[in-house]
């Protein structure tokens, strides 16, 4: 039983460290690039509204694939696009052609009416891949804040100090135990 507990504890520690490293990577790369981090042509976006519920909920993280040149989208695709200086992720409900250029009519699944106007291909920043991590956006949003970034740098250092102190404490206890046995 003790052995199983150690294995579970070790696995939990490894998973925690990997998740912490991923969070540090996301925060540092977004700070460095001034935007969303890109990994192998994919980006992570935080959902800020409920317009696409129940596909994904507010506070979720979604993964989008960056657009390639001359990529065409079709009805039913979920895209992220720029509109009035902000990012919106909605479903394409219609594809129209004007002056040899495709235009996309979009709507949030939870919205009653379609979006105003059409989305031009140049404004599309990604296509939803179907990967969603519920509630993780709250953590990323907090981690990218000033306080969250500071804590993200402070906590790993604190954990290393605590781990070292624990190791030293165990080693001292072991030495004391061995000294008691050799004296007696």
Q: Which residues are catalytic?
A: 49
Rounded to 5 degrees, φ, ψ at 136 are -70, -20
Give the residue ranges of DSSP H helices in 97-144.
136-143
Buried b (16+ CB within 10 A) or exposed e, 107-136: bbeebeeebeebbebeebbbbbeeebeeeb
Helix, strand, or coil (residue 109): coil
Q: What is the dihedral sign for C-alpha 110, 114, 115, 121?
A: positive
| Contact present, 147 and 141 (Cβ < 8 Å) | no
Q: Rounded distance, CA 45 to CA 80, Å?
A: 9
């Amino acid at each position: 039983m003790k052995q199983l507990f150690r294995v579970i504890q070790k696995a939990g520690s490894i998973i925690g460290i990997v998740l912490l490293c991923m969070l540090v990577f996301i925060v540092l790369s977004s700070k460095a690039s001034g935007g969303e981090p890109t990994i192998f042509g994919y980006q992570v976006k935080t959902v800020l509204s409920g317009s696409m519920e129940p596909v994904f909920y507010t506070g979720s993280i979604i993964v989008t694939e960056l657009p390639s040149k001359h990529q065409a989208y079709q009805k039913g695709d979920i895209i992220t696009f720029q509109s009035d200086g902000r990012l919106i992720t909605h479903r394409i409900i219609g594809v129209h052609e004007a002056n040899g250029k495709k235009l996309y009519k979009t709507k949030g699944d939870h919205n009653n009416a379609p979006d105003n106007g059409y989305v031009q291909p140049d404004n599309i920043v990604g296509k939803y891949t179907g990967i969603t991590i519920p509630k993780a956006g709250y953590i990323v949003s907090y981690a990218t804040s000033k306080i969250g970034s500071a804590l993200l740098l402070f906590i790993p250092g604190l954990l290393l100090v605590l781990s070292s102190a624990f190791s030293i404490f165990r080693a001292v206890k072991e030495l004391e135990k061995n000294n008691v046995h050799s004296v007696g």
